[in-house]
Amino acid sequence: MEKLFDTSKIVHDKIVRTMIKPLKKEEILKIIDAGSGKVSASILLKYFPKAHVDAVIFPGDNRKKNLIENSIDSDRIETMEADICTTTFRKQYDLCLIHLSLGEALHFNNSFENLFHHIMDIKADYFVLIDVWEDPCVHFRYIEQYLKEKGFKIIKKKKFRNPNPEHYPKFKYDKYKLEYDSKHFMAYTIKRLGEKA
């Protein structure tokens, strides 16, 4: 019997459920969770009961590794420690989830753009990208422009209110003065058009 973290009462569950509606669930068998954690990995295993999930975390990010290992018991998940910005993922995936990962680019000394480009180079047919609308490190206009220019189609776009906003205190990453409340989430379901990367 699989053990998953119970996500049924948190907004992230509803957001992912809404964003994966356009996908044919039975065809999604290979998934990569690009920037994983117990929440995103549990939601994926729950909504895609036949899929295998590669859960990627930054090397040595034990916060996430321990939480995944302590909350999830499943033979359908493999935790992989790899810096997405320096790793070539050779495997072909049906779906890539990017759940609150882009905001952490600077935390691991990568630029937002570099992390985003490398994620979009992952060979996946579909991407679901979700991040905090107010996070000054996540550039949504840049995301939309890049997708338009590089052969991706946004098939669903939706903004969600966060019923439990958190305050992020003043951190200073380079030129960004971070202080914000996570009042909304912005979400995209994206299809790769034509040739795979």
Query: Rule CB under 6 A: which residues touch ligand SAM?
Result: 35-40, 56-58, 61, 64, 83-85, 99-101, 104-105, 108, 110, 115
Closest CA to 165 of 178, 183, 185, 186: 183
In three-state secondary structure terms, 89 is coil
CB closest to ligand SAM, residue no: 37
**Single-letter residue type at 10:** I
**Which CB sits closer to ligand SAM, 8 or 195?**
8
Q: How far is the CB of 140 from ligand SAM (least distance, A)?
A: 17
Whether residue 33 contacts residue 97, with contact meaning beta carbons closer than 8 Å, is answered with yes
**Which CB sits closer to ligand SAM, 123 or 148?**
123
Q: How far is the CB of 41 from ligand SAM (least distance, A)?
A: 7
DSSP state of 25: G
Q: How far is the CB of 195 from ligand SAM (least distance, A)?
A: 25
Q: How far is the CB of 84 from ligand SAM (least distance, A)?
A: 4
Cα gap 47→20, rounded to integer Å: 9
In three-state secondary structure terms, 126 is strand
